Chain A
Amino acid sequence: MRVGAVDPDAYKRPPEYAEDAEGTVVAIRGDFVPPEGETPEPLVAVRFGATDLWRDVSDENQSIQVDIWAACLEEVSA
Chain B
Amino acid sequence: MNLDHRIEDVLDSCDVPGEHEPAFEAPWQARAFGLAVVLTEQGHVDWNDFQHRFATRLDGREGELSEADYYRHWVEALEETVIEGMASRTELSSRVAAFERGERDASEFVAGVDHSHDHSHDHSQ
Contact = CB atoms under 8 A, between A and B. Distances in A.
Interface of A: 10-11, 34-36
Contacts of B52: 10-11, 35
A36 B49 CA distance: 6
Interface string B22-49: 0000000000000000000000001011
A34 B48 CA distance: 8
Nearest to B50: A35
**Residue of A10, A11, A35, A36 with most chain B CB atoms under a 10 A cut-off:** A35
Contacts of B51: 35
Interface residues of B, number: 5
Contacts of A34: 48
A34 B46 CA distance: 10
Given A35-B46, A35-B49, A36-B46, 10 more contacts: A10-B52, A11-B48, A11-B49, A11-B52, A34-B48, A35-B48, A35-B51, A35-B52, A36-B48, A36-B49
11 contacts: A10-B52, A11-B48, A11-B49, A11-B52, A34-B48, A35-B46, A35-B48, A35-B49, A35-B52, A36-B46, A36-B49
Contacts of B46: 35-36
Interface in B39-67: 46, 48-49, 51-52
A16 to B, nearest CB: 10
Contacts of A11: 48-49, 52
A10 B55 CA distance: 12
Contacts of B48: 11, 34-36
Contacts of A35: 46, 48-49, 51-52
